[in-house]
Amino acid sequence: MFRWFVKDEVEKDVLSPDKRTRCKLLLKSGRISYSVYRDNKIIIRPSRLGFKICGEKPLTEDFKLVRAQSKRHSETIELQWGEDRFIDNNYTETAFYFTESKGFKRIMTLRIRVFNNSVAFRYEIPPQPKFRRITIKDEITEFNIDLNAIAWKIPAYQPDRYEYNYEKTIVYDLKESVHTPLTLKTPNGCYLAIHEAALYDYGSMTIKLDENRSLKTDITPLSDGTKAHVALPFQTPWRLIMIADSAIELTTNRSMYALNDAPSQDFGWVKTLKFIGIWWAMYVGEWTWAPGERHGATTEHAKEYIDAAVRLGIAGLLIEGWNEGWEGDWLENGINNKFTVPTSDFNLEDVARYAGRHNIELVGHHETVGFVDNYEKQLEAAYNYYAINNIHYIKTGYAGSMMMINGRREYHHSQLGVQHYQKTVELAAKKHICLDIHEPIKGTGIERTWPNLLSREGARGQEYEGGALSPSHACYLPYTRLLAGGMDYTSGILDLANSVKRMATTLARQLAYFVTIYSGMQMAADRPFIYEERFPDAFKFIRDVPTNFEKTVPLLGEIGEYYVVARKDRNSEDWYVGGVTNEKSRRIHISLDFLSDGVYRAEIYSDRDDAHYRENPFSTNIQQKHVGRNESLDLYIAPGGGFAISLQKLR
């Protein structure tokens, strides 16, 4: 449909293919706003749109609509790896072309896409006379949701970036900025998550309640106080509102990926990976990152870990603390990191050859401590160094509270931060390197376009165990952080009662994480001797569970309380089920009707009745039985516990 007209007042609906979700565009007295309805109930009241621009009249008023163009799109997208191989990209779209009625008559397009389970829109500003480069002072996009809606939030602009415990509050109390995905439940029972998709070259969106009691976009500022400097043509990331009838349904909303572009080059070389690491030994104080008597990353330790990886059947090995720059307080001294200079007790070439001979993929490590200037100077050489040594995976880290870019302190989630992360992803793609970014920019689905971005951290992970994680944390993640894509949670720490880092989980729950928390690079995070000598039976699940799934079926759950999910392997007929609970024990009944016909051998790793994350975390049942799709399983989950099941198809 294609229409030419000039209108001062417009009210136009964009309706989802199943007609349950509706976005209404309103142009009144020159101002543009939108609202969102689900089953004819309003869930986002009229909300303003537009920008304030430095040195220019704001792009917020005196608009007229000159043209609106609608289309239906229906397609199935295939993702190279992830939680689901196929995702729907079905939507109705209307592009609204506006022009100002006064002054320079600037033009701006608002493109709205309505999926069955999401509303998304973005602004597009084409180049136009006297309007070529602009500095965004503020984006005023509002999300006017009921002030009594419940919100699950983490704060923005804090020193630990996204690494905070989720808190439940009401929208009325969101006076400080919070990160997205911001998960919400409206008083009429609708679940929403406000997020963004395809974040490139722009500050990341945080959200706060403004003076008018509207939830409003607060784009992360640059150190000069502005939000972004952009050249036209410019388009914002998609502003995305995921919508579901239940919390568990929200967890498989994949519109974020559908809103990103298909890859523009061949990524056939990208493979998901499970890896162990010269890593947790540093957290429990056995080894150190810095050189010295207890240095972890020595040639000898690396070869021992490679041998262990072979015995364990794990394909990769991460080596942290291998390079110069860790001496002293590494968080303070990170400016000294040299990414092409190994410590004197670590021979990278030798270790890489040894890994190659044993078919083990090394995962390199670049801890920048946020000193982006220092890193960017070395970037090309650092990636080349790994590439020529056949190292195809790098874990990067930005542990500082702010980044140092162009000599100034900038937020990780500012436009300059976003640009830097993107530079690493694109350079890595050129060198056929996959990335696992710690202290990252949040996920906005760009791994559809850049599948070499296999994982991120971007929330509290298990390194916070030993006091700062409660059992509810991993029950919040699937409904909040994980809506933004996979996470390297560093699962599989089985030495639960270690006096330095006591885990707030049961043993079975550590296995469950490999299913409940997806990551394209999945770390089996404990030391190899723990797996080989103490828990060989439980370790079998960690070895068996895949890192690439065909299909994900969310089964049961409530935000912050529990979560149960089934996933089918991408390369076989086998299924894996995982479940976790908060401090409360639960009895769970799951129907196996997601299986296909036939007989499956179930291996069930579950908490015993006397298990408890504090008092009795090791109390685990491992049991086998044959099951089919007409059967169901009854499982007990202990306080702070979980379960993991593999279902291997026999015939």
List residues with catalytic annotation.
463
For residue 118, which amino acid is it?
S
Distances (CA, A) of 482 to 239, 594, 643: 17, 22, 19
> Do the beta carbons of residue 237 and residue 128 sit within 8 Å?
no
- The footprint of ligand NOJ on this chain (CB under 6 A) covers a number of residues equal to 8
Is residue 196 a contact residue for ligand NOJ (CB under 6 A)?
Answer: no
Give whichever of 96 and 514 is closer to ligand NOJ, judged by the CB atom.
514
Distances (CA, A) of 400 to 87, 108, 335, 393: 36, 38, 11, 22
φ, ψ of residue 472 to 5 degrees: the values are -75, -25
For residue 338, which amino acid is it?
K
φ, ψ of residue 457 to 5 degrees: the values are -95, -105
Distances (CA, A) of 359 to 160, 392, 425, 523, 600: 37, 13, 25, 17, 31
Place of tokens 């190279």: 80
Q: Which H helix or E strand runs over 511? A: helix 507-516
Helix residue ranges, H only, 330-462:
330-333, 348-357, 372-388, 415-430
Is residue 367 a contact residue for ligand NOJ (CB under 6 A)?
Answer: yes
Is residue 399 a contact residue for ligand NOJ (CB under 6 A)?
Answer: yes
- Cα separation, 423 vs 418, whole angstroms: 9
Is residue 546 a contact residue for ligand NOJ (CB under 6 A)?
Answer: no
Give whichever of 162 and 549 is closer to ligand NOJ, judged by the CB atom.
162
- Write down the least CB distance from residue 463 to ligand NOJ, Å: 6
- Write down the least CB distance from residue 52 to ligand NOJ, Å: 36
**Length of the chain in terms of residues written:** 651
Give whichever of 279 and 375 is closer to ligand NOJ, judged by the CB atom.
279
- Write down the least CB distance from residue 397 to ligand NOJ, Å: 4
Map the footprint of ligand NOJ across residues 248-267, applying CB under 6 A.
none
237: nearest Cα among 139, 153, 133: 139
For residue 350, which amino acid is it?
D
- Cα separation, 97 vs 450, whole angstroms: 30
φ, ψ of residue 419 to 5 degrees: the values are -60, -40
Minimal CB distance to ligand NOJ: which residue? Answer: 367
Q: How far from chain centre, in Å, is Cα 421?
A: 14
Give whichever of 321 and 641 is closer to ligand NOJ, judged by the CB atom.
321
Is residue 603 a contact residue for ligand NOJ (CB under 6 A)?
Answer: no
Is residue 481 a contact residue for ligand NOJ (CB under 6 A)?
Answer: no
Map the footprint of ligand NOJ across residues 286-325, applying CB under 6 A.
320
Place of tokens 């920019």: 441
Is residue 457 a contact residue for ligand NOJ (CB under 6 A)?
Answer: yes
- Cα separation, 75 vs 91, whole angstroms: 9
Residue 64's SS3 state is strand
Give whichever of 279 and 549 is closer to ligand NOJ, judged by the CB atom.
279
- Write down the least CB distance from residue 443 to ligand NOJ, Å: 16
- Cβ neighbours of residue 358 closer than 8 Å, sequence gap 6 or more: 306, 307, 309, 310
Maximum Cα interatomic distance, the chain, rounded to a whole number of Å: 77
Map the footprint of ligand NOJ across residues 413-452, applying CB under 6 A.
438
- Write down the least CB distance from residue 161 to ligand NOJ, Å: 10
Map the footprint of ligand NOJ across residues 108-137, applying CB under 6 A.
none
Number of other CB atoms surrounding residue 271 within 10 Å = 18
> Do the beta carbons of residue 190 and residue 38 sit within 8 Å?
yes
- Write down the least CB distance from residue 461 to ligand NOJ, Å: 6
Give whichever of 279 and 386 is closer to ligand NOJ, judged by the CB atom.
279
- Cβ neighbours of residue 174 closer than 8 Å, sequence gap 6 or more: 151, 153, 207, 208, 209, 215
What is the torsional sign of CA 103, 104, 109, 110? negative
- Cα separation, 122 vs 234, whole angstroms: 10
**276: burial class by Cβ within 10 Å (0-12, 13-18, 19+)?**
buried
Give whichever of 138 and 463 is closer to ligand NOJ, judged by the CB atom.
463
Report the residue from 397, 451, 528, 617 that binds ligand NOJ according to the rule CB under 6 A. 397
Give whichever of 84 and 465 is closer to ligand NOJ, judged by the CB atom.
465
> Do the beta carbons of residue 459 and residue 231 sit within 8 Å?
no
Give whichever of 114 and 282 is closer to ligand NOJ, judged by the CB atom.
282
- Write down the least CB distance from residue 488 to ligand NOJ, Å: 8
> Do the beta carbons of residue 82 and residue 518 sit within 8 Å?
yes
82: nearest Cα among 250, 240, 258, 214: 258
Contact map string, positions 622 to 651, toward ligand NOJ, x by CB under 6 A? ------------------------------
- Write down the least CB distance from residue 396 to ligand NOJ, Å: 9
Give whichever of 143 and 330 is closer to ligand NOJ, judged by the CB atom.
330
Map the footprint of ligand NOJ across residues 77-106, applying CB under 6 A.
none
- Write down the least CB distance from residue 330 to ligand NOJ, Å: 7
Bridge-based pairing state of the strands 234-235 and 118-125: antiparallel
- Write down the least CB distance from residue 395 to ligand NOJ, Å: 7
Give whichever of 320 and 607 is closer to ligand NOJ, judged by the CB atom.
320
Give whichever of 320 and 447 is closer to ligand NOJ, judged by the CB atom.
320
What is the torsional sign of CA 623, 628, 632, 637? positive
For residue 384, which amino acid is it?
N
- Write down the least CB distance from residue 427 to ligand NOJ, Å: 20
- Write down the least CB distance from residue 273 to ligand NOJ, Å: 16
For the chain, the first-to-last Cα distance in angstroms comes to 51
Binding residues for ligand NOJ, rule: CB under 6 A, are 279, 320, 367, 397, 399, 438, 457, 463
